Structure 1
Amino acid sequence: MREERRLPHKRDGLQFLKTKTAYVIFVVLTYAFGYFSAYYYLQPPSPATTALRTSDDTTKTHDCSIDNFRITTRCGDLLPPELIRRTVIDRIFNGTSPYTDFPPPHAGKFLRRKRIKGWGSYGLVFENLIRRVKPRTIVEIGTFLGASAIHMANLTRRLGLEETQILCVDDFRGWPGFRDRFKDVALVNGDVLLMYQFMQNVVSSGFSGSILPVPFSTGSGLEKLCEWGVTADLVEIDAGHDFNSAWADINRAVRILRPGGVLFGHDYFTAADNRGVRRAVNLFAEINRLKVKTDGQHWVIDSINLI
């Protein structure tokens, strides 16, 4: 009798499954399951997982979610400091110093004897680091008209570091619209004469034997210095101030830093930090378990020895 009583219920259930209502419920449940599954898998990682992922208290940098943005260029065998200037001149300027027969006729009449402008170019951080590190080679990333490079050359000369070389990596194009603020920097057939004015400033200051331009974008310039085996005791970063630019420059610059060298840069405590400088510096330090120090408006990360 119990079996006979159950049969009608089974038949009712089968009939319900054939109705439009059951079909609509099935479609809705399927869509909801798919939506929430996709939402779960597409969620960005939490801030904790974007910084460091560790196992047994050992940092595994290669597991970090930012790993896709790391620089993988293989650096060449290290050049002795005394060969760096000659190598750069050979590789970039076809063996002839760019200061030979300077200025070229088409540019000379447009240059001022000395036109120097910088931002944070005379802070105490420069003397503090040069006194401590006594660098043979300095690389400056972002130089504009050379104010900080010339200041560092003055410091090295005053401190008796006569052999110190300063390489200035910059495309010398400025930024779109910069001539609204610097109308005295000439433009000839679309060529803004920033590099020539930079070189004129260097010559007028008496440092053509100490300062060399590397007239390329920071990315391509640093990549080639790395491939040529150029290393530096000090690397200053003061080029692009958005996060992506600062992050890329830091990760490329650290590859040309000798073990134990010092990486530093401007705009840690200026309006530009909101565009990404401080965030890039802090993230780099956190991932690599390094400490950020500050000196005025500058950030400093020293004793770097990354593999």
Structure 2
Amino acid sequence: MKDKDDTKERSMHHHRLQRKLVDLTKKLFANPTVFVILLMLSYALGYISSPTFNSSRHTPPPNSPNPSIFQLTNLPTQLDNFRVTTRCANPIPPQNARQLIIDRLFNGTSPYSNFPPPHVTQLLRARRIKGWGSYGAVFSRLINKVKPRIIIEVGTFLGASALHMSNLTRQLGLDTQILCIDDFRGWPGFRDKFKDIQMINGDILLYYQFIQNVMYLNASESVLPVPYSSGSALTTLCEWGVTGDLIEVDAGHDFNSAWADINRAWRILRPGGVIFGHDYFTAADNRGVRRAVNLFAKINGLQVRIDGQHWVIDSAGNM
């Protein structure tokens, strides 16, 4: 008898709870604001639990052997922060480039005038030319192919490759101007290997030795320094309308530096021109220059050709 009474009491309690829930639900849905909030919450919960949402939140890392479609299709978007957006001026005639740079960078006076200044005369060697991969056959092949009016070199150091290219263009009878972009500061600790490059009050005389090398080889009419960082110099040439037929990128060898230089240099490469550079094969493997070159080519639908230690991209596509 007691069991029956307990069962009846539980049944009545359950019935009262149901009535209360029904009444509460009616009151909630009678309020439009509450109804909208509940609707939005249910939509959000459904979206978060969907397979599409979960796959986009858990895309494989960039080096994954199986990247998702989402990742591949959004690769250009992911790189937007690294893109160069400077608006370039209309290209100027090649024969005007040298004087434009002398006027705007050197106040109208050639950097070779009255060189060397007295305070560095005794600190310079008559000739101190050093480079890496500066005499490869790629230089001759590309100059013969392109026959450039303007060559832009990004990363010059003591001028070995620039002076080699100057000699090659002279042998072909070309009227070529070579613009050498470099801040001429070397890198921290480089004087451990180049102790003969002197310093005055912390000012490394790399720039002066470069000028001395150019004058020693009688190349001052064809080789002109642009003594600024690659980023600021390439951006400025873009704004001035200076373009190159052949551009060598050989400054920083880490991914970020190479990526920035290649993108900026590409903007001032004339249609049909060639861009190339050194250090495609280094101890950095696919973390440095090679990664930047390959990624740039992939995104822009270009082909990379290897010539010794150099990479080459022909904007005309006829490798």
TM-score by length of 2: 0.80
How is 1:202-221 mapped onto 2 (pairs within 5 angstroms)?
A: 202-221=214-233
Aligned-residue offset at 1:106: 1.2
Match of 1:118 among 102, 114, 131: 131
- Partner residue of 2:269? 257
- Partner residue of 1:288? 300
| 1:182 partnered with 2:182 | no
Match of 1:239 among 239, 246, 251: 251
- Partner residue of 2:94? 81
CA RMSD in angstroms, aligned pairs only? 2.9
SS of match in other structure, 1:220: helix
Deviations 1:215-265 (A, max 9, x none): 000000101010000000000000000000000000100011001110100
- Partner residue of 2:104? 91
Deviations 1:180-225 (A, max 9, x none): 1100000001100001001100100110000000000000010101
- Partner residue of 1:300? 312
Contact 1:262 1:301 in 2 (8 A): yes
- Per the alignment, do residues 39 and 232 of structure 1 end up closer, same or farther by CA in structure 2, a change over 3 Å counting? same
SS of match in other structure, 2:211: helix
Aligned-residue offset at 1:77: 1.6
**What are the ranges of 5 or more consecutive residues in structure 1 without an aligned counterpart?**
15-32, 55-60
SS of match in other structure, 2:270: strand
Give distance in 2, aligned partners of 1:7 and 1:138.
94
- Per the alignment, do residues 106 and 272 of structure 1 end up closer, same or farther by CA in structure 2, a change over 3 Å counting? farther
Give distance in 1, aligned partners of 2:249 and 2:61.
29
Match of 1:109 among 107, 119, 122: 122
Give distance in 1, aligned partners of 2:192 and 2:12.
88
- Partner residue of 1:270? 282
Deviations 1:130-172 (A, max 9, x none): 00000000000000000000000010011111x1000000000
SS of match in other structure, 1:246: helix
How is 1:131-150 mapped onto 2 (pairs within 5 angstroms)?
A: 131-150=144-163
- Partner residue of 1:29? none
* Counterpart amino acid of residue 303 in structure 1: S
% identical equivalent positions: 65
Q: Which has the larger radius of gyration?
A: 2
- Per the alignment, do residues 188 and 152 of structure 1 end up closer, same or farther by CA in structure 2, a change over 3 Å counting? same
Give distance in 1, aligned partners of 2:197 and 2:216.
17
| TM superposition outliers: structure 1 runs of 4+ over 3 Å | 1-14, 36-52, 272-275
Contact 2:56 2:70 in 1 (8 A): no
Give distance in 2, aligned partners of 1:10 and 1:145.
93
* Counterpart amino acid of residue 209 in structure 1: E
* Counterpart amino acid of residue 140 in structure 2: E
